[in-house]
Amino acid sequence: MKINILDTNTLTRNDLDFSCIDALGETTYYNILEKEELIRNCREADVLLINKAQMSEDVLRELPALKYIGLFATGYNNVDLAACDRRGISVANVPGYSTDSVAQHTFAFILMHASNLPLYNDSVHRGEWIFSDSFSFFPYPISELAGKTLGIIGFGNIGKKVAQIGNAFGMHILVMNRSPINDGRYLQTDLETLLKESDYVTLHCPLNPESANLINEKTLALMKPEAFLINTSRGGVVDSEALAYALEKRRIAGAGIDVLPVEPMPADDPLYKARNCIITPHIGWASIEARRRCVRLVADNLKAWMEGKPVNIVNLVNP
């Protein structure tokens, strides 16, 4: 079994052990490859293990030996599933591996905003506290999370974990989800109500035709002026230009963004210099614990498929 691992440099900084995958076949590692390089190096591969490499139909038709694609990710919008179906290629993802990490990152954004930590840190390092005449220097607003309303869009593993954390802080929880959540602890509502009533809105939905640009000029206009938006899902769920405009015009108070429609971030991205927009470089999933878990689950998926007992297959192909 010839196994090619792509995008290796998106997974590890020499801090992960891949021996559980090495044990399953003849393994070759590559960093991010351009399209032609990918095709040239992967023609004989039976298995591709990828993170964000684009598996489009024109790439897949050049890989005649390919039987299985395993993702180091939960999302799989970079893989043409219909083309895989036609070619008998099984595609497996790893749901749930980053739940704790992404939920933690979501609350890092929320807490930074509630306590204005970036502004206070900058202020102290400018020397403003040194020259203050008071022991307690608080020129920037600080607010408690208890009693605030947290709106969660998407109630999968991560959305549920975020709700649990919000509940522990004493927040009121609103949920918008495509299907019934069957959880009496939280109120399920429609998008308009959630946006109008929430102090914090956090996105945990997949990117699909229904969610693309879900947060746009019209939906942003529904939010409170004091509301804070968090996106740790997919960049395409938010219209970046509309969000930058809403921030500039103070239509909402701020945003915490971990994902963008184009990554790495282009220099002309409208959010690059947007007012009160905290941006992190797609790291919500990237704790060492989550990355170790991811590698182990990818290996488990592949082993199960090789044994004729596939798990976490996201397309219609049978083994």
pLDDT, averaged in runs of 10, over the chain (319 residues): 97 96 98 97 98 97 98 93 97 96 98 95 96 95 98 97 98 97 94 98 94 97 98 97 98 98 96 96 97 98 97 85
With contact defined as beta carbons under 8 Å apart, do 196 and 176 qualify? no
Give catalytic residue positions. Answer: 234, 263, 282
Rounded Cα–Cα distance for residues 296 and 17 (Å): 9
pLDDT in the model for residue 318: 63
Closest CA to 223 of 191, 250, 197, 260: 197
Name beta bridge partners: 4.
Answer: 28, 48
Kindly give, in sequence order, each residue whose CB lies less than 8 Å from that of residue 178, ignoring residues fewer than 6 positions away: 210
Residue 131 one-letter amino acid: F
pTM score of the predicted model: 0.91
Q: In the chain, list all ranges with CATH 3.40.50.720.
A: 2-95+288-306, 99-279
Phi-psi region of 230 (alpha: psi -120 to 50; beta: other; left: phi over 0): beta
Edge to edge, what strands does the sheet with 172-176 contain?
187-188, 172-176, 149-153, 200-203, 228-231, 254-257, 277-279
Tens digit of each residue's pLDDT (9 = 90 or more) over 49-71: 999 999 999 999 999 999 999 99
With contact defined as beta carbons under 8 Å apart, do 203 and 231 qualify? yes
Rounded Cα–Cα distance for residues 10 and 31 (Å): 8
pLDDT in the model for residue 148: 98
pLDDT in the model for residue 298: 98
Q: Which CATH superfamily does the domain covering 2-95+288-306 fall into?
A: NAD(P)-binding Rossmann-like Domain (3.40.50.720)
Rounded Cα–Cα distance for residues 41 and 127 (Å): 55
- Tracing tokens 């993802």 back to the chain, one arrives at 93
Q: 99-279: what fold? A: Rossmann fold (3.40.50)
